[in-house]
Structure 1
Amino acid sequence: MSVRAETPARTARLRRFSRAERWVHRTTAALMGVCVVTAAFLYLPQLAVLVGRRALVVRVHEYAGLALPVPVLLGLASRAFRADLRFLNRFGPHDRVWLGAALRRDRRPAARPAGKFNAGQKIYAAWLAGATLVMLGTGLLMWFTHLTPLIWRTSATFVHDWLALTMGVVLAGHIGMALADPEARRGLRTGTVSRDWADREHPLWRP
């Protein structure tokens, strides 16, 4: 009798992301993908020779970069999105425990307490937000060449190029981790996750 009573609860789906949050993530991911692909065609000689209209690729890259903050700004109209931004911006004692376990490569669920977002996700979100703003600023300095001295443009190009490479590596790691967790991907696709997954990966989360 006890097993039958627990089965519906254990198989229940929990609401993790609203439609607005999923839209923000997908749109931001698409724009970031355009930036990465066009940057690859602009900077890698093996790909650059395949492009017949380089100026068009430059324009697509520039406008996609300018549009990157737009989904987040529009998402601020969503109460659920604003609530998740507050969760991402708060670090607690359990986050230090999670980071310690991650550094020790301790994969036991009990050793990695997490709320709705774990410490790794919080650090990634903060880093990506800061990196995007730096990329936007340096990109504008490179675009409007007549407004700044040469030394500014040279420095902006150096920072932009190397940070772009770093972002590519970090994004590849992010995608790799997402591919290793089907339930997390399902949560971003449908908005819901299983209770078992939530209890295992985010035991402190109480939806």
Structure 2
Amino acid sequence: MTSTDGSTARTGTATAPRPERPGRIRRFSRAERLVHGATGWLMLICVVTAACLYLAPLAQLVGRRHLLVTVHEWSGILLPLPFLLGLASPAFRADLRRLNRFAEYDRQWLRAARKRLTRPGARPAGKFNAGQKLYAGWIAGAVLVMLATGLLMWFTGLLPMISRTSAIFVHDVLAWAIGAVLIGHMRKAYRDPEARLGMRTGFVERDWARTWHRHWPVEDPPAARGADSGTAGRER
């Protein structure tokens, strides 16, 4: 699933990896971008089908309720699959460790965010800022709860001590919360074209990384750099 920077000559022998793009550094591997894209599409299908099932005007406009229920159920069940497949990628696992670490500069980022400070340097961050780390942890937990409550709604006798009504209530309330958080996530991404470019191509401007993620080179251990290409650190 991972990508490499190397190429193969016509003789079948591997050549040296191509040099980094001038002025740009690798931020995400192909595997990470595939995981993000697949998860995003599955999440979008879940949200759209849920809206068509829950909101009467959309339900009347679209119709075919049984088909929508089936698509919604299976897209929800498949939602964790890209994450599980992504665990085969060393780069993906390395970024999961980064997302799971909270440093002192992340607390500074949160304090600056509360004060609405937006100037360069006011919000120090590593490869991922504190907001991205909180979002990743929250959405991962929310997906697990949605999956569990969805299964309880589907298989009513799975846990007899939990009523279907309770599962529906939690599922619906959390669905609204996920919708609000996803809108916030997309707004943040829309305001940062370089971050979107990094997810789309895998590369970002070196100056952008130094300005908004200045702790990134410091926090990346040599073993984690270039994990997808099998080469030593290329993030500096």
Q: Which residue of 2 aligns with 1:62?
A: 73
Counterpart check, 1:171 vs 2:177: no
Q: Which residue of 2 aligns with 1:157?
A: 168
- Cα deviation for residue 52 of structure 1 reads 2.7
- Cα deviation for residue 50 of structure 1 reads 1.6
SS of 1:109's equivalent in the other structure is coil
- Paired with 1:73 and 1:149, the residues of 2 have a C-alpha distance of 29
- Cα deviation for residue 107 of structure 1 reads 1.0
- Paired with 1:132 and 1:195, the residues of 2 have a C-alpha distance of 33
Match of 1:73 among 53, 74, 84: 84
Match of 1:34 among 41, 45, 67: 45
- Cα deviation for residue 151 of structure 1 reads 5.2
User: How well do the aligned residues superpose, as a CA RMSD in angstroms?
Assistant: 1.4
- Cα deviation for residue 180 of structure 1 reads 0.8
Q: How does 1:12-51 map to 2 (within 5 A)?
A: 12-51=23-62
Match of 2:197 among 178, 182, 186: 186
| Count of equivalent residues | 198
Q: Which residue of 1 aligns with 2:8?
A: none
Q: Which residue of 2 aligns with 1:3?
A: none
Deviations 1:99-121 (A, max 9, x none): 00000111122221100000000
SS of 1:99's equivalent in the other structure is helix
Q: Give me the identity figure in percent.
A: 66
Q: Which residue of 2 aligns with 1:96?
A: 107
SS of 2:117's equivalent in the other structure is coil
Q: How does 1:76-87 map to 2 (within 5 A)?
A: 76-87=87-98
- Paired with 1:114 and 1:167, the residues of 2 have a C-alpha distance of 25
- Cα deviation for residue 163 of structure 1 reads 0.3
Deviations 1:137-187 (A, max 9, x none): 000000012434485211110000010000000000100111111110000
Greater shift after overlay, 141-150 or 188-197?
A: 141-150
Deviations 1:38-66 (A, max 9, x none): 00000001101023310110010000000
Identify unmatched segments of 5+ residues in structure 2: 1-19, 218-234
Greater shift after overlay, 197-206 or 54-63?
A: 197-206
Cα separation, partners in 2 of 1:151 and 1:205, compared to 1, 3 Å = closer
SS of 2:124's equivalent in the other structure is coil
Q: Which residue of 1 aligns with 2:148?
A: 137
- Paired with 2:89 and 2:80, the residues of 1 have a C-alpha distance of 15
Deviating beyond 4 angstroms after TM superposition, the runs of 4 or more aligned structure 1 residues are none
Q: How does 1:4-19 map to 2 (within 5 A)?
A: 12-19=23-30
Q: Give the TM-score of the pair, scaled to structure 2.
A: 0.81
Counterpart check, 1:108 vs 2:85: no
Deviations 1:115-140 (A, max 9, x none): 00000000000000000000000000
Q: Give the TM-score of the pair, scaled to structure 1.
A: 0.93
| Aligned-partner residue type, residue 136 of structure 1 | L
Identify unmatched segments of 5+ residues in structure 1: 1-8
SS of 2:177's equivalent in the other structure is helix
